Structure 1
Amino acid sequence: MSRHDEIRQEMLRRINDGEWPVGSDIPHEMVLTEEFGAARGTVRRALSTLVEQGLIERRKRAGSRVVGQTSQTSKLHIPLIREEIESRGHAYSYRLLEREVKPGLHGIGTRNGLLWVRCLHLADGAPFQLEHRTINLDTLPQAAEQPFRVTGPNEWLVREVPATRVITRISAAAAEAEIAEILAVPEHAPLLIVSRETFMGEAHLTEARLSHPAEQYQVTTLSI
Structure 2
Amino acid sequence: MHKNKNWLITGSIALILFLGLTLTVYVDPLWLTVFDSKIQELVLPLVDTTRTQILSTLVFFGSPGIDILLTILLAGAFWIRRERLIAVWIGAVQLGGDVLAFLIKEVVQRPRPIGQLVKDTGFSYPSGHTFSTAILILTILFIIVPLLEDQEVQLLVSLLAIIWIIIIAFSRIYLRNHFPTDVLAGLLLAVSWWEIMRAAYFYYLESNFQFLKVKNMKEEN
Q: Indicate the TM-score class for this superposition, using the shorter chain for normalisation.
A: under 0.3
Q: Which has the higher contact order (CA 8 A, sep 6+)?
A: 2
Greater share of strand: 1
What TM-score, normalized by structure 1, do the two folds share?
Answer: 0.23
What TM-score, normalized by structure 2, do the two folds share?
Answer: 0.23
